[in-house]
Amino acid sequence: MDAIIMCAGLGTRLRPITNTIPKPLVPIAGRSSLERTLDMLPEAVTRIVLVVGYLADQIKARIGTSYRGREVVYVHQDTLDGTGGALRRAESAIQSDRFLVLMGDDVYSSVDLERLAAHDKAILCYRAPASGSLDAVQTDETGHVCGFCRPEPGTEATLNTGAYTLDRHWFQTTPVLVPGKEDEWSLPHAIPQLIELGHPIHAIVATFWMPVGTHEQLAEAERLFLEKSE
């Protein structure tokens, strides 16, 4: 099983740190989010595809072509056209029928990633107050995904963490723009097409998830991991 990890973004909300360091390599209590995610990959993952762009050479130098016995290959997203664009660009590099998709600047739990990888198709969700910038996952009575919505900021919601188990059926979907964008293609907003075609998507509620995209989130992550190390 391949794991595709998105690492191409500019990290503008973490400037000036990301002026010289790609966001997935920004240290969190001495270890980057990308390395923490690589350390937590499920046993089923045997190969890693990193989608890189901004300051890609630093990521290549740090991670190399093998990580803890797993082959690492790189796909360049020279035009930053969203997660949908990134995954479509990675299609030719993916060797497995099913694959994980993860964000290189988020931190996950190994237990949750194991649960995610156990399903044919699934989205990892997290219960938390909505920030206004993340979509909530709508589910039916069986726990399957039936759609997405933008919740009111501050309301408790089942948020999309951007972690998925998918298969090659996703590449048969028609590209969908990120709502409100004219040049970014969305990975999750193509998923309703899979549901319409009869491919159920499980919603897995995570026990832990920490996005590290702002200075406030970075400070909170630093605090949490330093506490764990004591």
CA 207 to chain centre: 16
* Number of residues assigned to the chain: 230
78 Cβ contact partners less than 8 Å away, ≥ 6 residues apart: 53
129 vs 75 pLDDT, higher one: 75
- Give the C-alpha distances (Å, rounded to integers) separating 10 from 101, 106, 180: 19, 15, 19
List the single range of 66-80, 133-147, 151-165, 167-181 with lowest mean pLDDT: 133-147
Residue 132, pLDDT score: 64
Residue 209, pLDDT score: 93
Residue 8, pLDDT score: 95
131 vs 170 pLDDT, higher one: 170
Statement: the pTM of the whole predicted model exceeds 0.95: no
40 Cβ contact partners less than 8 Å away, ≥ 6 residues apart: 108, 109, 110, 113
Q: How high does pLDDT run on average in the chain?
A: 91
Q: Which of 98-102, 130-134, 216-220 has the highest mean pLDDT?
A: 98-102
Inform me whether the pLDDT recorded for 221 exceeds 60. yes
CB atoms within 10 A of CB 58: 15
Question: Which domains, and CATH codes, for the chain?
Answer: 2-229 (3.90.550.10)
List pLDDT tens digits, range 19-49: 999 999 999 988 999 999 999 999 999 999 9
What's the rounded Cα separation, in Å, for the pair 186 and 164? 13
What's the rounded Cα separation, in Å, for the pair 128 and 132? 12
Inform me whether the pLDDT recorded for 109 exceeds 70. yes
Beta pairing partners, 6: 51, 103
Q: What is the DSSP string of 118-180?
A: TSSSEEEEEEEE--SSSPEEEE-TTSBEEEEE-PPTTSEEEEEEEEEEEEGGGGGSPPEEPTT
The phi, psi pair for 222, rounded to 5°, reads -60, -45
What's 206's DSSP letter? P
Q: Which two tokens stand for residue 67?
A: 């990580």
Mean pLDDT for 148-162 is 84
Mean pLDDT for 125-154 is 81
Under the banding of pLDDT at 50, 70 and 90, the label for residue 131 is confident
Residue 147, pLDDT score: 81
Residue 133, pLDDT score: 65
> Count H helices, E strands: the chain?
6, 16
Largest separation between any pair of C-alpha atoms in the chain? 50
Among 149, 6, 197, CA closest to 84: 6
Whether the bond into 16 is cis, omega within 30 of 0: yes
Residue 229, pLDDT score: 66
Q: What share of the chain in percent tops pLDDT 90?
A: 72
Residue 230, pLDDT score: 54
What's the rounded Cα separation, in Å, for the pair 136 and 109? 20
